[in-house]
Amino acid sequence: MKGLGIRGWGLAAAFAALPLVATLAQTPGSGRVRLQPDWTALEPEMMEQFQAVLRFDTRNPPGNEHIVAEYLKGVFDKAGIPAQIFALDAKRSNVVARLKGNGKKKPLLILGHSDVVTVDEAKWKFPPFSATRDGGWVYARGTVDDKDNLTGGLMTMLLLKRFKVPLDRDVIFLSEAGEEGSSNFGMQFMVSQHYPEIESEYCLAEGGGAIRIGGVAKYTTVETLEKIPRGIELVAHGISGHGSIPLKSNAIVHLAGAVAKVGEWRPEIRFNETTGSYFRGLAQIMRDFTGGKYDLAKQEFSDYMTNFPTNDLASNAQFYLGEIDYAQGNYKVAIVSYTKVIAQYPRSFKVAASQLKKAQAEIKLGNKQAGIRDLHEVVRKYPGSDEARQAQARLRELGVSATTR
Ligand SMILES: [Zn+2]
């Protein structure tokens, strides 16, 4: 399991990452002919491989990734792709397969992990290692983490070989064991004992992704780092005693206090290169807005809404779309945006502000009663907030008591 970001390249995205110039269907273009495989015809084979890999019970612990490793080795052998098994523990094996390029560039590594997290079978509609297809879904542990990537990598290798795609770099495939908390059998072992086998310039794995809308690539996310766990040992001292006379000086009381403090701890926010770039991009949009470049800002906020409709900041983008219309005097349209924030993102940090601005827009439109109603709502629903204070002040200006209703 990886941390943040869009998880899983999925089959299609894994293929899209490679310039597959292959066979069959020909796309029209000016001069340059680009050949594509017949993806529809390949679908049954992809699904078959996906289900085959999903049906191996590799929950970790204990892992038993060797059953996937042996299966993959067999598939590569049959396809004539050189593949090798590497294992620190015979039951926790990794597979490396390699397609040779002309050596002009350094290799590309495509990897997926073959273990999955454990399952509570009672909570599953279908057995978690059945890969049952039902209503357009495939039910199995590992469908989105990470046997989708594993199968995507496998199919990429098979098709590159089958269509004799000329490669200007080696393409290396790695089926990695123990990713879910026991990487000493997988990645750590490969890096420390067999690094030349997987040494590459780039790696495609879970954690980043490519988003296409209507067949057009909109953006690609790149993961540069993951959170790293840090174990802390808390030692408490105190006087022991009999349970009938509980002591406040007991070690467990001190320990509980310490654990509570850890829970309260809010680490300082620091930006690294990746998060810094992300927020600088967002800040540019805000500058366009505050600088009065409304059309540009509107486009950017709309793009944000299209690309990240469920992101925590989507409600913020929706709110600022309202703000642009408000600033331009399009109060009716602004109200639509504020209402969307309230209805679609009820837990958003922008809900109170949206209700407040909706009230102000209503008043601008001459709908004084509707505005007053909204102001009362803000006072009632968000007591103690800045928005409630502003709503109260506005109600006073309007000569309405904020407390009676
Ligand atoms: Zn994972």
Tokens of 335: 């109200």
Distance in Å, CA 67 to ligand 1 centroid: 18
The predicted-structure confidence for 151-202, as pLDDT tens digits, reads as follows 999 999 999 999 999 999 999 999 999 999 999 999 999 999 999 999 999 9
Tokens of 19: 């310039």
Peptide bond preceding 89: is omega within 30 degrees of 0, i.e. cis? no
Contacts of 206 (CB under 8 A, 6+ apart): 2, 7, 8, 9, 112, 113, 145, 146, 149
What are the two backbone dihedrals, phi and then psi, of residue 91, each rounded to the nearest 5 degrees?
A: -95, 0
Distance in Å, CA 342 to ligand 1 centroid: 35
Distance in Å, CA 143 to ligand 1 centroid: 10
* Architecture in CATH of 10-221: 3-Layer(aba) Sandwich (3.40)
Distance in Å, CA 357 to ligand 1 centroid: 43
Distance in Å, CA 114 to ligand 1 centroid: 9
| CA 223/CA 379 separation, integer angstroms | 42
Are the C-beta atoms of residues 170 and 196 closer than 8 Å to each other?
no
The predicted-structure confidence for 5-45, as pLDDT tens digits, reads as follows 333 333 333 344 343 433 334 444 444 556 788 989 999 99
pLDDT of residue 3 exceeding 70? no
Distance in Å, CA 206 to ligand 1 centroid: 6
Q: What pLDDT was estimated at residue 34?
A: 60
| CA 43/CA 57 separation, integer angstroms | 24
CATH of domain 284-397: 1.25.40.10
Q: How would residue 402 be classed by pLDDT, with cut points 50, 70 and 90?
A: low
Distance in Å, CA 371 to ligand 1 centroid: 50
Q: Is 405 helix (H, G, I), strand (E, B) or coil?
A: coil
What are the two backbone dihedrals, phi and then psi, of residue 305, each rounded to the nearest 5 degrees?
A: -60, -40
Are the C-beta atoms of residues 92 and 103 closer than 8 Å to each other?
no
Distance in Å, CA 280 to ligand 1 centroid: 29
Distance in Å, CA 180 to ligand 1 centroid: 7
Token pair 């000569």 in the structure block, residue: 399
The amino acid that residue 24 corresponds to is L
User: Domain-by-domain residue ranges, the chain?
Assistant: 10-221, 284-397
The predicted-structure confidence for 71-111, as pLDDT tens digits, reads as follows 999 999 999 999 999 999 999 999 999 999 999 999 999 99
- Average pLDDT score over the chain: 87
Q: What pLDDT was estimated at residue 11?
A: 39
